[in-house]
Amino acid sequence: MADYIFEPPDVPGIPVKGESALYPVGRIFCVGRNYAAHAAEMGVEVDREAPFYFTKSPSAFLFSGGTLPYPPGTENFHHEMELALAIGAPAFRVTPDEAAGAIYAYGCALDMTRRDLQLKARERQRPWDLGKDVEGSAVFAALTKAGEIPALGPQRIHLEVNGEVKQDATLDQLIHSVPEIVADLSKFYHLRPGDLIMTGTPAGVGPVVAGDRITGGIDGLADIALSIGEPE
């Protein structure tokens, strides 16, 4: 064990259904604009040629069920409900067919977003980090191993704020499929166990405020929840 100047932060872990050990959180990749109706509500076209990505720091991880204080620097903090996948084997320059073998598990995730800062950055052609890499904004529910769910497609993906349905779609509306995303991302990164990918949000994103309770689900996967607390 190396001797550190200070105690390094713990590696966060996500519970996996049927396993006692946790899935350790490595990198967090996110796909932008992967449902046509969401791209439309954001006033942009979908690029059907290839997905595009942004990242969240692993330190932005928060496990489902927790409370996130309303973050600093925003007046328009948005929910985005997403299907996430967890990589379980190395994948570099893989085909979509090969990509399936690298997927260990799936889970519900929230890509919480400072929308005002993201849009300002988009306008000015600046990076999205302030809008997207928000502390506590990478929320994950417990994972379900890929072999334990039926083929992706008809499953409903939904999100409610205080019980009112805000996002409601099916996974067959994904423009870039899960194997296509993994194959494409593997052109740029040596994907490895611990890497998580959020696959994009359906239409219906919107603001939350302190006191709100977000719930969401995808058929066959563990539900997700997040409470928004008072700002610090």
Q: Are 85 and 30 in contact (CB under 8 A)?
A: no
Q: Which residues pair with 84 in a beta bridge?
A: 107, 198
Among 78, 103, 111, 181, binds Mn ion (CB under 5 A): 111
Closest CA to 78 of 38, 31, 34: 38
Q: Give the separation between CA 20 and CA 27, rounded to whole angstroms.
A: 22
Part in contact with Mn ion (CB under 5 A); list of ranges 43-51, 55-63, 151-159, 196-204? 196-204
Nearer to Mn ion, 94 or 202 (CB): 202
Is residue 168 within 8 A of residue 202, CB to CB? The reply is yes
H or E element in which residue 17 lies: none
C-beta closer to Mn ion: residue 120 or 145: 120
Pick the closer one to Mn ion by CB: 94 or 178: 178
Q: Of the ranges 19-27, 103-111, 177-185, 188-196, which one interacts with Mn ion (CB under 5 A)?
A: 103-111
- Asked if 201 touches Mn ion (CB under 5 A), the answer is yes
- The residue (of 53 and 63) whose beta carbon lies closer to Mn ion is 53
Which residues, including other chains, have CB under 8 Å from residue 112's CB and lie 6 or more apart?
A: 68, 71, 77, 78, 79, 80, 134, 136, 137, 138, 139, 226
Amino acid at 196: L
Choosing from 39, 80, 218, 228, the residue that interacts with Mn ion (CB under 5 A) is 80
Nearer to Mn ion, 80 or 195 (CB): 80
184 is a contact residue toward Mn ion (CB under 5 A): no
199 is a contact residue toward Mn ion (CB under 5 A)? no
| Buried/exposed 8-28: b ≥16 CB within 10 Å, e otherwise | eeeebebbbeeeeeebebbbb
Nearest CA among 132, 100, 124 for reference residue 28? 132
Closer residue to Mn ion in complex, CB, 186/201: 201
Work out how close the CB of 229 gets to Mn ion at its nearest, in angstroms, rounded to a whole number. 22
> CB under 5 A: which stretch of 4-12, 78-86, 123-131, 217-225 binds Mn ion?
78-86
* Residues in contact with Mn ion by the rule CB under 5 A: 80, 111, 201
